[in-house]
Amino acid sequence: MGYNERNPIFSFRLGEYRHGKLLRLSKLNKMPANDFLRNIVDQYLAGDLIPKAKDDLAVEMTKLKLLKIKAEIEYLQLKNKYMENFGAPMSASATRILKPQLTAAQQTTQITMSPYDAKNNIIQCVECSQLFRWENKDEFLKQKYEFELHMTNNHNRALSYLEKSVLDDLRFSGASI
Ligand SMILES: [Zn+2]
């Protein structure tokens, strides 16, 4: 194989706009336009340049990645606690069983438990059992708001669909018991 086959020349045309932009950018980077272009291709082939995702999708992906990292941290903490309490690592079978249940259990709690206790006419946090009571309508409205704040500040999350609809439907019906 000759030098030319091993080191082929690529050539293509750029329209006026892209050509102008390329010249400006290469000047900014203090490189001849040709080297600047080749540098971009080199970076792309090395995996250092990633195609730009659609903005919404990129944000959504970041959120999902964060959720995944949080779940993994919780799982690791659980494993460490087990180690501290029992002085031995969790068995492989326990690990297999726990890992999927951890997130499933958390989600089920948040999705299926209503924060309103109709018997006592109070709101109770489904995660830490903190109570929100009121004597009159002003306090009632304030406590609904406090509950939402509590979720953000103490549990780092927005209200679940159920919590939000329960709170939206909840009307003042007297003082808490
Ligand atoms: Zn709470």
Residue 1 has pLDDT above 90, yes or no: no
Percent of residues, the chain, with pLDDT higher than 90: 39
pLDDT of residue 97: 67
Q: Exposed, middle or buried: residue 67 (CB in 10 Å: 0-12, 13-18, 19+)?
A: exposed
Determine the distance separating the centroid of ligand 1 and the alpha carbon of 19, expressed in angstroms.
58
Determine the distance separating the centroid of ligand 1 and the alpha carbon of 149, expressed in angstroms.
10
Determine the distance separating the centroid of ligand 1 and the alpha carbon of 160, expressed in angstroms.
13
Q: What average pLDDT does range 78-97 have in this prediction?
A: 76
**CA 139 to CA 147: how far, in whole Å?**
12
pLDDT digits 0-9 by tens, 33-81: 999 999 999 998 988 887 666 667 777 777 888 888 888 888 888 888 8
Using DSSP's 3-state secondary structure scheme, residue 12 falls into: coil
Determine the distance separating the centroid of ligand 1 and the alpha carbon of 162, expressed in angstroms.
15
Determine the distance separating the centroid of ligand 1 and the alpha carbon of 55, expressed in angstroms.
33
**CA 156 to CA 150: how far, in whole Å?**
9
User: What is this structure's pTM?
Assistant: 0.41
C-alpha dist (Å) from residue 130 to 19, 116, 146, 150: 63, 12, 11, 9
